[in-house]
Chain A
Amino acid sequence: MTAPARTTVAAPTRRSPTISSSRKAMNNVMLGLCVAATALTLAVLAWIFGYVLIQGARHVNLAFFTNLPAPVGEPDGGFLNALVGTAIMVGVASAIAIPIGVFAGIYLAEFGVGWLAWTVRFVNDTLNATPSIVAGLFAYTLIVLETHRFSAFAGSVALAVLMIPTITRTTEEMIRLVPRALREGALALGVPEWGMTLQIVLPAAASGVVTGIMLAVARVSGETAALLFTAFNNRFLSASLNEPMSSVPVQVYTYAIAPYEDWHHQAWAGALVLVTLVACFSAAVRLATRNRHQSLT
């Protein structure tokens, strides 16, 4: 009785070194691939940023921030109009997209069954995969053609259309992560469901929702195609939503394809400033909205 039992025990032990060594080898291969992929991603990122830094840093100066564009050949031209334009349009787009996206996300997470929710999700996913130029075309048809002028408002609407799907999706997912126990804790106090959602669930999901918003803001801050034929461009400083408005990416684009050396320099400077500003803004918002009670996400 003992002898056969021993062999059945011994068989796997004899084989297991090979199993475990081949498994180890597989582990190492997979780990190596992951490390390589990460390194490649970081290298590309470092390369892009390094290149922009090298090309742009020399041409970033105070005038770049405080002056309007100068005619070709004149020194000390700046991007003031474009910086202000980007701030305004991204701001207006956020004011439109954040409430819509957050509430749509809440709707999907809390009441997300049935044909209406299915439709909202489908439209949202489609919108998410839509090229930005289509968002521009949408705002162009809806606003520019109707009002017969390029305008900052049309540009903002195009950007908002691009922001909404990202915000909706992240909000939905973050809200779904909030544990049922937390919801029941609120309901048991005699809190109505809407109060529970807005006062307990949404704050608990806040840092994730903010991350989604930041992703959307970062994405549209560099958006060019959607603005080309909506906000167009403006050589002058303008704060009117009814006028064409400049933006950093469009100005970079305009300068980059122009045949002038000093405009090329300014385009690089613009690219560098845009990347840096977006990074700083994201970091600042993350820091400011960090939830010190966060237990999830």
Chain B
Amino acid sequence: MKMRASHLTVRYGAKVAIKDVSIDIHANQVLALIGPSGCGKSTFLRSLNRMNDTVPGVSVTGQVQLDGEPIYGPEVDAVLVRRRVGMVFQKSNPFPKSIFENVAYGLRVGGLRERGAVADRVEQALRHAALWDEVKDRLHESGLGLSGGQQQRLCIARALAVEPEVLLMDEPASALDPIATAKVEELVSDLRDQLTIVIVTHNMQQAARVSQRTGFFYMGKLVEVGETTQIFTRPKERETEDYITGRFG
């Protein structure tokens, strides 16, 4: 067990976005979160690395544990949580820096100063993100000059470089073309050996392809979670079945 959310409720002001969500996130597995838009998938994901703390008016009750330790509480530093639980966003957001600096930045913030070591880790992260061959000759050009799919893989490399234990991905391929999407999916499957991944997707085929476990969210609640094959072939709940058979959503 890598992470565990228990009775997690998140409100934006008075509006309840997710309600009483409890879920176990297994180590070295991919957990896919599916559900119609607005059902709270992003909100849940962002509560796993305390990203919601940065939104004004948010309140979180319940608890999330990382390796058995609570991540919410006065004694916990959210910055350190985010170093261990990285995140890739729906819309790629490279920094207005060079490709190299995009990846190196997090390393330096983490305290790595030695130039050779930084360069090695940058290369390693770019290789992991399947981007190295495409950018190795132009590492010092702007990250914003890359194509959409490359930018997203750059963001993945940036997140991987700091060696997080868990990687949260919020619809990482929703803005990408099919080829770029396939690359990201392949990447997700490969990365499972090294870390734990939680991926939000509105694409059920994608969830089926990349994940071992799937959770279905509906109207702020976690309706059902289980083995991906079970969710897609023998869902226990009626709402899950309606959703995956395309009757709504």
**A and B: bona fide binding partners:** yes
A residues apposed to B, CB below 8 Å: 179, 181-192, 195, 199-200, 203-204, 291-296
Interface mask (B97-111 → A, CB under 8 Å = 1, otherwise 0): 110000001100110
Give every chain A residue within 8 A of B220 (Cβ-Cβ): none
The reply to whether A188 and B142 form a contact with Cβ atoms under 8 Å apart is no
Query: B63 on the interface (CB 8 Å rule)?
Result: no
Q: Is the CB of B109 within 8 A of A191?
A: yes
Can you add 17 more A-B contacts, CB < 8 Å, to A185-B155, A190-B82, A195-B109?
A: A181-B93, A182-B95, A187-B51, A187-B82, A188-B82, A188-B87, A189-B82, A189-B106, A190-B80, A190-B81, A190-B106, A200-B95, A291-B96, A292-B142, A293-B95, A293-B97, A295-B144
A190/B98 contact (C-beta < 8 A), A185-B93, A293-B144 known: no
Q: Is there an interface contact between A190 and B109, defined as CB atoms closer than 8 Å?
A: yes
A186 to B97, CA, bound (A): 12
Q: Contact at B159–A295, with CB atoms within 8 Å?
A: no
Q: Considering the complex, give the chain B residue whose CB is closest to the CB of A185.
A: B93
- Could you tell me the distance in whole angstroms from the C-beta of B105 to the nearest C-beta in chain A? 7
A249 to B97, CA, bound (A): 41
**Contact across chains for B93 and A189 when beta carbons are under 8 A apart:** no
Partner of A191, one of B84, B89, B94, B106: B106
On chain B, the residues within 8 Å of A185 by CB distance are 89, 93-95, 155, 158
Chain B interface residue count, CB cutoff 8 Å, equals 30
B197 adjacent to chain A (CB < 8 Å):
no
| Bound complex: CA A181 to CA B89 (Å) | 8
Cβ of A181 to closest chain B Cβ, rounded Å: 4
Q: B16 near A: Cβ within 8 Å?
A: no
Q: Which residues of B contact A188 (CB under 8 A)?
A: 49, 51, 82, 86-87, 89, 159
A to B CB contacts below 8 Å, 22 in the list: A179-B93, A182-B95, A182-B96, A184-B93, A185-B93, A185-B94, A186-B105, A187-B51, A187-B54, A188-B87, A189-B83, A189-B106, A189-B159, A190-B162, A191-B105, A203-B96, A203-B97, A204-B95, A292-B142, A293-B96, A293-B98, A293-B142
Number of A-B contacts (CB under 8 A): 77
Task: List residues of chain B with CB within 8 A of the CB of A294.
Answer: 96
Q: B35 contacts the other chain (Cβ, under 8 Å)?
A: no
B residues in contact with A182, CB < 8 Å:
93, 95-96
Q: Is A192 a contact partner of B98 (Cβ separation < 8 A)?
A: no
In the complex, what residues of B have CB within 8 A of residue A199's CB?
A: 105, 109
The 9 closest A-B pairs by CB, nearest first: A190-B83, A293-B96, A188-B87, A189-B106, A181-B93, A293-B142, A190-B82, A185-B93, A204-B96
- Chain A residues whose C-beta falls within 8 Å of the C-beta of B86 in the assembled complex: 188-189
B91 contact set on A, CB distance < 8 A: 181
Return chain B residues, CB-CB under 8 Å to A184: 51, 54, 87, 89, 93
Smallest CB separation, A132 vs chain B (Å): 36
How far is it, in angstroms, between the C-alpha of A291 and the C-alpha of B54 when the chains are bound? 28
Q: What A residues does B95 contact at CB under 8 A?
A: 182, 185-186, 200, 204, 293
Within 8 Å of chain A (Cβ to Cβ): is B143?
yes
Cα A280 to Cα B57 in complex, Å, equals: 48
Chain A CB within 8 A of B175 CB: no
Residue from the list A181, A189, A292 in contact with B109, Cβ < 8 A: A189
- Contact across chains for B155 and A192 when beta carbons are under 8 A apart: no
Residues of B within 8 Å of A296, CB to CB, are 96
A192 in contact with B79 given A182-B93, A186-B95, A200-B95 (CB within 8 Å): yes
* Shortest Cβ gap from B141 to chain A (Å): 9
Please tell me if the beta carbons of A189 and B162 are within 8 angstroms of each other in the complex.
yes
Q: Which chain B residue lies CB-closest to A186?
A: B95
Q: How far is the CA of A184 from the CA of B87 in the complex (A)?
A: 9
**Bound-complex Cα distance A190 to B159 (A):** 10
Minimum C-beta distance from A123 to chain B (A): 25
Q: Which residues of B contact A186 (CB under 8 A)?
A: 95, 105
Report the Cα distance A288→B82, complex, angstroms: 36
- Which residue of chain B lies nearest to A113 when distances are taken between CB atoms in the complex? B56
Shortest CB-to-CB span from A199 to chain B, Å, is 7
Q: Which of B87, B106, B143, B158 contacts A293 (CB 8 A)?
A: B143
Closest to A189 in B: B106
Q: Measured between alpha carbons, how far is A185 from B89 in the docked complex, in Å? A: 8
Q: Smallest distance from the beta carbon of B129 to chain A beta carbons, Å?
A: 15
Distance in angstroms between the alpha carbons of A199 and B51 in the assembled complex: 19
